[in-house]
């Protein structure tokens, strides 16, 4: 019953098989190999247009490097206060952008609202040197609250970004879970809704280490290879990342994997709700944040369930846990056994 995180799993079979399959012979280093070329074409097919694809080692690197392509002196990047770039990357975006500032735009359920973004961005008027300059807007899809931006919400944020001539970045560490949740195409969720660059994460959803920065803004992609190399993120045996993506994308393995994770999360949500747990935020991807009775929480821990108590400070007073309650975070993945879900729910209902 391990719901600690989706990065506690290993790699799924199609990825392992692809790694073995492509580990033969000699191939040029640094991404000049035929497999990397082939995977790049798969990305173009996936997004139904030309894209520029760059592999990097981690999701943090993908985010920070993507944003660094738009860095400006005194640059301000707007994101939700719970965004991974704001909370969980140890200053990597600030470092890679040469000292950018991440401006928090709070909003319910882990999402920025366009009207709030509008207000926040207005504090950085063009031409006022003291406050710095607007550099980018970044959304997390799926969000850190387990919710998913609707296409209209993304488009509304893009509208604000575009009004100031800055790009919209998407942190897609859980890109697959969001696509599956919305039932839209990758193209719909990205460039057709105004996204300029996406951190396309595959690690959480079944790879060992496969993250890509995918640019729709091909102009901004020029020179990106230097940003990546300068940060030590150009793999010499780059084809082993390509191999993972090959296994991941082929036969829609990535969608199958995310569907499973999302289904496990939904099933948990239904069961927990039925047993009296409540959810401040809807469960729309593979993370869920139930508020449980403390006694239930302790019973589950005693039974060996792994998951984290979670700070609830962004909740309104009426949603916040009461004195006998606790909010927790649970994460499902491609590797979550249905039996674990059943076992967990049995303990909840006990």
Q: How far is the CB of 282 from a copy of itself (least distance, A)?
A: 25
Cβ proximity to a copy of itself, 20 vs 350, nearer residue: 20
Q: How many residues bind a copy of itself (CB under 8 A)?
A: 73
Q: How far is the CB of 178 from a copy of itself (least distance, A)?
A: 18
Strand pairing partners for 104? 79
Q: Give CA–CA dist 347/341, Å, rounded.
A: 10
Site residues (CB under 8 A) for a copy of itself, limited to 26-65: 26-30, 56-62, 64-65
Q: For 330, phi and psi rounded to 5 degrees?
A: -125, 140
Q: Residue with structure tokens 């040197």? A: 129
Cβ proximity to a copy of itself, 99 vs 276, nearer residue: 99
Q: How far is the CB of 69 from a copy of itself (least distance, A)?
A: 10
Site residues (CB under 8 A) for a copy of itself, limited to 224-263: 225-227, 229-237, 239-240
Q: Give CA–CA dist 226/185, Å, rounded.
A: 31
Q: Where in the chain does DSSP place strands (E)?
A: 52-56, 75-79, 101-104, 133-140, 168-172, 197-201, 211-215, 287-288, 291-293, 308-309, 325-331
Query: What's the count of helices (H) and strands (E) in the chain, helices before strands?
Result: 15, 11
Q: How far is the CB of 188 from a copy of itself (least distance, A)?
A: 28
Q: What is the DSSP letter of 287?
A: E
Q: Give CA–CA dist 283/64, Å, rounded.
A: 28
34, 73, 125, 338: residue in contact with a copy of itself (rule CB under 8 A)? 73
Query: Could you give the string, one character per residue 174-203, with x where binding to a copy of itself holds by CB under 8 A and - elsewhere?
Result: -----------------------------x
CB 160 within 8 A of CB 114: yes
Site residues (CB under 8 A) for a copy of itself, limited to 106-135: 129-133
Q: Give CA–CA dist 96/73, Å, rounded.
A: 12
The region of 221-229, 266-274, 284-292, 295-303 touching a copy of itself under the rule CB under 8 A is 221-229
Q: How far is the CB of 206 from a copy of itself (least distance, A)?
A: 10
Counting contacts by CB under 8 A, is residue 317 touching a copy of itself? no
Counting contacts by CB under 8 A, is residue 338 touching a copy of itself? no
Q: How far is the CB of 50 from a copy of itself (least distance, A)?
A: 19
């Amino acid at each position: 019953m391990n719901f600690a995180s989706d990065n506690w799993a290993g790699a799924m079979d199609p990825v392992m098989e692809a790694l073995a399959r492509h580990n033969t012979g000699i191939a040029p280093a640094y991404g000049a190999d035929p497999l990397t070329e082939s995977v790049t074409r798969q990305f173009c097919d996936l997004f139904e247009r030309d894209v520029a694809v760059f592999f990097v080692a981690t999701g943090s690197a993908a985010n920070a490097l993507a944003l660094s392509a738009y860095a400006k002196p005194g640059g301000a990047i707007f994101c939700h206060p719970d965004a991974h770039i704001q909370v969980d990357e140890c200053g990597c975006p600030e470092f890679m952008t040469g000292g950018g500032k991440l401006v928090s735009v709070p909003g319910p359920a882990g999402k920025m609202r366009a009207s709030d973004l509008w207000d926040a961005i207005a504090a950085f008027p063009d031409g006022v040197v003291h406050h710095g300059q607007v550099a980018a807007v970044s959304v997390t899809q799926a969000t850190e609250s387990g919710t998913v931006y609707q296409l209209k919400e993304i488009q509304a944020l893009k509208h604000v970004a575009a009004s100031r001539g800055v790009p919209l970045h998407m942190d897609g560490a859980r890109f697959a879970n969001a696509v599956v949740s919305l039932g839209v195409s990758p193209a719909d969720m990205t460039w057709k809704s105004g996204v300029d660059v996406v951190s396309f994460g595959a690690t959480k959803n079944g790879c060992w280490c496969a993250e890509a920065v995918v640019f729709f803004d091909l102009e901004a992609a020029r020179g990106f290879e230097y940003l990546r190399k300068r940060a030590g993120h150009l793999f010499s045996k780059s084809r082993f990342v390509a191999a993972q993506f090959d296994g991941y994308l082929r036969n829609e393995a990535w969608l199958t994997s995310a569907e499973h994770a999302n289904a496990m999360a939904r099933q948990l949500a239904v069961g927990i709700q039925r047993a009296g747990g409540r959810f401040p935020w809807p469960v729309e991807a593979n993370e869920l944040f139930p508020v449980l009775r403390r006694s239930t929480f302790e019973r589950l821990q005693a039974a060996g369930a792994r998951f984290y108590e979670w700070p609830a400070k962004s909740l309104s007073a009426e949603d916040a846990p009461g004195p006998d309650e606790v909010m927790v975070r649970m994460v499902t993945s491609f590797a979550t056994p249905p039996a674990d879900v059943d076992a967990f729910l049995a303990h909840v209902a006990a």
